[in-house]
Amino acid sequence: MLVQALSVVASASVVMAATQHVVLVGPDHTLNYEPSTVQASVGDTILFQFQAGNHSVTQSTFQNPCTYSGGFNSGFFPISGNPVDVAITVETSDPIWMFCAQDGHCEAGMVFAVNPPSSGDTFSAFVSNAESGNTASATTTMTGSAAASLISTWTASTTLTVASGSASATASASDSSSSMTSGGYGMASSSSAATSSGASSTSSASAAAKTSGGASALLTPSAAGLFLSFLLSAFM
């Protein structure tokens, strides 16, 4: 009987495997996320694949779609060749609202949402808010303890691949304004190294940046020689 009871408990504790949702950022040089919404469960990952242009995935609020909320921010990735992947892990079932922080892109409708409601604060209403430049009134802006209750921290690491035969180089920085983001958002520190013989490079970054809305981040760029050059040039 005891063995049977333990077996039942073990069976009940099996957790379903998490799902990975792939979202294209700026596909075919458009101002879009594709798809523009994702229904995700807690523990799922969302892989943002930056394909073209110079975009970001930046957290906002429903009332202020085009304003950085102090939450997750990928920073800008200028892409002219191989794509760069950024993965976040969903840690809440609540809606998460995001936009591209590049000038004019959000107002052109480049917004994204995780778990948007089917009524009330819908995704279509979020798009309308973005395109009309709506901002929240003082009575609806979340401040103080209400905002603080949603805040957590995140860390990020990257793995880069560069072409063989490139010159050996190392770079590091602790200034967020010159790290992997633009506009002062994102990583507080970063480091990178490239070798001519190994044809690969590993870079890691950690951030005390805050995320609201329940997302942790893991950056996993592949074949991102351009991005490595961007990092190195910032520190020379």
Q: Which one, of 73, 77, 94, lies nearest residue 85 by Cα?
A: 77
Structural domain contains residue 32? yes
pTM, two decimals, is 0.59
Residue 130 structural domain: 17-137+148-234
Residue with token string 């917004």: 111
Provide CB contacts within 8 A for 8, sequence distance 6+. Answer: none
What total of structural domains would you count in the chain? Answer: 1
> What is the sign of the dihedral through the CA atoms of 52, 89, 118 and 138?
negative
Q: What is the pLDDT of residues 61-102, one digit of tens each?
A: 999 999 999 889 999 999 988 999 999 999 999 999 999 999
Domain membership of residue 143 (yes or no) is: no
Asked whether residue 142 is assigned to any structural domain, the reply reads: no
Beta strand residue intervals within 101-150, DSSP E:
111-114
Instruction: Give me the CATH number covering residue 211.
Output: 2.60.40.420
192 located within any domain: yes
Of 223, 217, 224, 225, the C-alpha closest to 86 is 217
pLDDT tens digits, 178-194:
223 333 223 222 222 22
Q: Does some domain include residue 8? A: no
- Model confidence at 112, pLDDT cuts 50, 70, 90, reads very high
